[in-house]
Amino acid sequence: MSRRQLFGSLCAMVFLVNLARIVFAPLVVPLEAEFGVSASTLGVIAGLTWFGSAIPRFPVGYLLTKVSRETMVLASGVVLVGSSLFTALAPSFSVDVLGRTLTLTPVGSLMIGAFALGTASGAYFLSANPLLSQLFPDRVGRVMGVHGAASQFAAVLAAPIVVAVLIVADWRATFYLLAAVSALATLATYVVGRSTETKSATTDRDLVGAARTQWKLIVSGIAFVAVTGLVWNGVFNFYVKYMIEAKALSDPAANTLLTVLFAAGIPAFVAGGDLVERLPKVPFLIGISTTFALSLLVLSTVSGFFALALVSAVVGFVIHMLFPAADTYMLSSTPDHQRASTYAVFSGTMMLPQAFGSVVFGALLDTGIAWDPLVSGAAMVVLGAMGILFALYQADLLPERAVGGERPASTPRSDPMTDD
């Protein structure tokens, strides 16, 4: 078996773990009809997938100092299968704890299932991204880009998949299907991984030591992503509402533009991964966020469906270039004995401010601020942050690579699309 085949199986798995994080959004209406709960409760259920992806990353990072990346990838697949089945069943039962009876309702089961689905995705990304950088050490940007594009397909196809399933079955069938396909993908990854010769790697066994050594890289990576990610989270979570209330679009038209926003990310992942390998990483990362902010300024001034569609495509394309570029920045030059731990600290920390994006936007909207000033103001905040980072870069205070992360010039190039 070849590394290319293993890469293909990982692309299938990343589609499924990202689908698990997104699938609750198009299921809001059928779940509301089934359980008669409020929209806010369903919002909590959907949000738990993202908290499930973020919160366990430090514990998973520690586990990666004890077990291999390949083992953790397979474990994430097992968790994905089990949590999908648990969510599909949404059981209700009672247990006695210290003389008190605790009852788990179906809605409570959905919450647990959502958190577990998110945990599977967090464990997968923390183990698979360092594994891919190990398999293709001289093409990290390329593999991060293609791998990210496979993930982005889930964001685009989640709603059509759910709609197709609901035509012939109920909402539970969505999770049964996810469990079945995830089991096949995990099995395929196990079979291919067992017979694929990987490059030798030094075991990563010191999470705290890696954080101490690579703290400048970690802090810089968080700075590049945190503010921009917070604004992006607020924008896309309220995008449909923004288009309807501020741009006078219909509900179907607004949802179409949300699809455009995500679909533009598919080629953007590949482009971002390729370009970050060819350009100085720090200026490139600053340039992406700066362009994203400028595109938001344009978005706040235009109207009309076609103009908004064009700008939405630009916004979606630019922001999705950031994620493979940031991953490559963290992974491409970090020595293997610190790569997974460094990435775990970065990934677990940078996701937390992003998760508050919709909270910040919602709170500001509740104060009465209008949509366009909110979006343009958020863009100015990003521009200000990038200005500070550029000044720090000019002062030689932002690292281009990890400590001790120089790669030998003789390392042969490997490409996941052609290498066997």
Residues 299-317 pLDDT 10s? 999 999 999 999 999 999 9
| C-beta separation of 154 from 121 below 8 A | no
Cα–Cα nearest to 338, from 209, 217, 220: 209
Phi, psi of 413 (to 5 degrees): -75, 145
User: Which position has the higher pLDDT, 201 or 179?
Assistant: 179
| C-beta separation of 331 from 129 below 8 A | yes
Query: Is 409 within the bounds of a domain?
Result: no
**Do residue 88 and residue 14 come from a single domain?**
yes
- Out of 279-283, 327-331, 379-383, 406-410, least confident range: 406-410
- Out of 24-33, 36-45, 159-168, 241-250, least confident range: 36-45
**Do residue 266 and residue 180 come from a single domain?**
no
| C-beta separation of 311 from 301 below 8 A | no
**Number of neighbouring beta carbons within 10 Å of residue 208:** 11
Average pLDDT of every residue of the chain: 86
| C-beta separation of 315 from 296 below 8 A | yes
**Do residue 311 and residue 382 come from a single domain?**
yes
**Number of neighbouring beta carbons within 10 Å of residue 71:** 14
Tell me how long the chain is. Answer: 420
- Out of 10-19, 97-106, 214-223, least confident range: 97-106
For the residues 243-252, what does the mean pLDDT come to? 90
Q: Which of 169, 195, 221 is the last residue of a domain?
A: 195
| C-beta separation of 209 from 334 below 8 A | no
Q: Which of 172, 195, 218 is the last residue of a domain?
A: 195
**Do residue 243 and residue 392 come from a single domain?**
yes
**Number of neighbouring beta carbons within 10 Å of residue 250:** 11
How far is 38 from 231, CA to CA, in rounded Å?
27
- Out of 2-11, 59-68, 135-144, 404-413, least confident range: 404-413
| Structural domain for 52, as ranges | 1-195
**Do residue 82 and residue 229 come from a single domain?**
no
At 97 the three-state DSSP class reads strand
pTM: predicted TM-score of the whole model, two decimal places: 0.80
Query: Is 262 within the bounds of a domain?
Result: yes
Put residue 248 in one of left, alpha, beta given phi > 0 → left and psi -120 to 50 → alpha.
left
Query: Is 410 within the bounds of a domain?
Result: no
For 222-231, letters b (16+ CB in 10 Å) and e give bbbbbbbbbb
419 has pLDDT over 60: no
**Do residue 106 and residue 15 come from a single domain?**
yes
Query: Is 420 within the bounds of a domain?
Result: no
**Do residue 124 and residue 209 come from a single domain?**
no
Query: Is 415 within the bounds of a domain?
Result: no
413 has pLDDT over 50: no
- When pLDDT is cut at 50, 70 and 90, the band that residue 404 belongs to is low
Query: Is 185 within the bounds of a domain?
Result: yes
What proportion of the chain, given as a percentage, has pLDDT over 90? 46
How far is 72 from 152, CA to CA, in rounded Å?
22
Q: What is the pLDDT of residue 405?
A: 57
Query: Is 167 within the bounds of a domain?
Result: yes
Q: What is the DSSP letter of 101?
A: E
**Do residue 88 and residue 209 come from a single domain?**
no
Query: Is 102 within the bounds of a domain?
Result: yes
358 has pLDDT over 80: no
User: Which position has the higher pLDDT, 196 or 9?
Assistant: 9
Residue-wise pLDDT for 28-75, tens only, equals: 778 888 888 775 677 678 778 878 888 888 888 888 888 888 999 999
Q: What is the pLDDT of residue 56?
A: 82
Put residue 380 in one of left, alpha, beta given phi > 0 → left and psi -120 to 50 → alpha.
alpha
Type of residue at 123: A
**Do residue 84 and residue 128 come from a single domain?**
yes
- Out of 41-55, 100-114, 276-290, 309-323, least confident range: 41-55
For the residues 374-398, what does the mean pLDDT come to? 95
For the residues 113-132, what does the mean pLDDT come to? 92
**Do residue 322 and residue 382 come from a single domain?**
yes
| C-beta separation of 404 from 339 below 8 A | no
Residues 6+ apart with CB under 8 A from 287: none
Could you identify the residue written with the tokens 């998760």?
A: 355
117 has pLDDT over 60: yes
How far is 13 from 241, CA to CA, in rounded Å?
32
User: Which position has the higher pLDDT, 277 or 174?
Assistant: 174
Cα–Cα nearest to 282, from 144, 145, 401: 401
407 has pLDDT over 50: no
**What is the token pair recorded at 180?**
């079945």
**Do residue 80 and residue 140 come from a single domain?**
yes
CATH number for position 389: 1.20.1250.20
**Number of neighbouring beta carbons within 10 Å of residue 98:** 5
Residue-wise pLDDT for 376-385, tens only, equals: 999 999 999 9
The domain tally of the chain equals: 2
What proportion of the chain, given as a percentage, has pLDDT over 70? 90
**Do residue 84 and residue 12 come from a single domain?**
yes
At 100 the three-state DSSP class reads strand
Q: Containing H/E element for 362?
A: helix 357-366
Cα–Cα nearest to 218, from 348, 53, 58: 348
416 has pLDDT over 60: no
Q: Which of 141, 174, 195 is the last residue of a domain?
A: 195
How far is 211 from 49, CA to CA, in rounded Å?
26
The Cα-based distances of 418 to 2, 150, 188, 192 in angstroms read 10, 17, 20, 17
Instruction: Find the farthest-apart pair of alpha carbons in the chain and give their distance in angstroms, rounded.
Output: 67
